[in-house]
Structure 1
Amino acid sequence: MAITDHHAVFIGTTDDGHTFTVVNSPLRTAHTILTSGGFTTREHHGRALHLLPPAPSPEVGDHAEVALHLLYALTTDVADLRSSTRWQEPEAEAAAHFAFADGRTAATVTTDAARSVLELHGFQPTPTGYALPAGTGERERVTAVLNADIHLWSLGHGCAIDLNLPTPEAIPPAPGHGPTPAPKPPAPPRPPHRHTR
């Protein structure tokens, strides 16, 4: 599984600016809510992927924001890891930057307040910033970043989140829909059995 697969709804941002939503549970009206909010839907490696292009018009952006909030009426199991300009003015500097890569979650901070928040949520100091301990599960990594993001917002700080997804094509496939493994070569024939006297 991938970080996108552990919550009923996962919302994120690709490096090229697409907002995407993955619905992992059978939420009856989720598709209608998202398409009414301006998201387009396409089949993507075994799942329906809902996409909003980079820099939508202000009207589309407002409708999309309402749609994402309406998903909370269907489930509270939502992981919203969009780049957090949603929490701050565009010109504001992020107090923390989180990065998911290679099964790890690292962070850098620009304020003492952010440093304290990260430590409260399980991040440990490293030579280059902070990281969650090795072996932290995927769902726990997402939860730690969600909680730190909300905590920072409550203190008036924004953060940036890098999911290490350059484009929508890089979003992981649905569980069980990964690449087909290469067939194993046939076993060499066994030598004929010889009778001895």
Structure 2
Amino acid sequence: MAFIDHHDVFIGSTDDGWTFAVLNRRLPSEARQSLTDAGFITRAHQGRALYLLPPGQPTAENHERAGTALYGLLAHTMDFADLSWTTRWPSAGPEKADVRIVVADDQVTATARSTAGTEILAQHGFLPTHAGQALPASLSERDRVAAVVRAESHLHAEGNIVHVSLGIPTLDAIPPAPGWTSAPAAGPVPATRPRAR
């Protein structure tokens, strides 16, 4: 399994600014429709149906669209993780992040600009390293996902600007669905987005 496979719904961001949602279990058509009604476009990708918001949209618009979609999804599941930086990013830009969390291979590292940020990370299992903090390698991937979700939510609630890099540079780098063995060519990324309702 990949980092994005441990919740019914996972919302994240690629490094190049796409917001994506993945449904990891079959949900009713109304759940999927809540994503498309909120303006997400769909794309088939290695056994997954991705729901996408393209880069370049104002963060406030992405935040509203993601919030509308999650509100609709809550009628069908409460098992979701939202680690998308593109739905919460301030106009100041990524270099202004108070805390950066990086998911790479089997390692999760973090750096905080403040003592308060460092302390919050420690509360959620991040241990000191020579370059910042990291989750223990002994944690299962599921436990690492849970720790990142809790830490990001806590940091955000305390007013910190948090950037979570999932180690996914582009849409094509999103891992295949669990058990996917064939990799047909992915369709082109849609160039247009539906109008807001």
What corresponds to 1:73 in structure 2? 75
**CA distance 1:162–1:67, change in 2 (3 Å):** same
Deviation per residue, 1:33-66 (Å, 9 max, x gap): 1111111112110111111101226796333431
SS class of match (1:114):
helix
Percent pairwise identity: 46
5+ unaligned residues in a row in structure 2: which ranges? 184-197
User: Which of these two proteins has the greater Rg computed from alpha carbons?
Assistant: 1
SS class of match (1:97):
strand
SS class of match (1:146):
helix
What corresponds to 2:85 in structure 1? 83
Deviation per residue, 1:139-178 (Å, 9 max, x gap): 1111111111111122221211000101111000001104
What corresponds to 1:34 in structure 2? 35
- In the TM superposition, what are the counterparts of 1:1-197 in structure 2 within 5 Å? 1-28=1-28, 29-56=30-57, 61=62, 62-83=64-85, 86=88, 89-91=90-92, 93-178=96-181
- Partner Cα distance (1:174, 1:5) in 2: 8
What corresponds to 2:188 in structure 1? none
Contact 1:85/1:160 (8 A) holds in 2: no
Q: TM-score, with normalisation over the residues of structure 1?
A: 0.83
Instruction: Number of aligned residue pairs: give it.
Output: 179
**CA distance 1:19–1:85, change in 2 (3 Å):** closer
Q: How much has 1:83 moved relative to structure 2?
A: 1.0
Q: TM-score, with normalisation over the residues of structure 2?
A: 0.83
Task: Report the residue type matching 1:91 in the other structure.
Answer: A
SS class of match (1:79):
strand
5+ unaligned residues in a row in structure 1: which ranges? 181-197
* Greater than 4 Å deviation, 4+ residue runs: 57-60
SS class of match (1:119):
helix
- Partner Cα distance (2:176, 2:7) in 1: 15
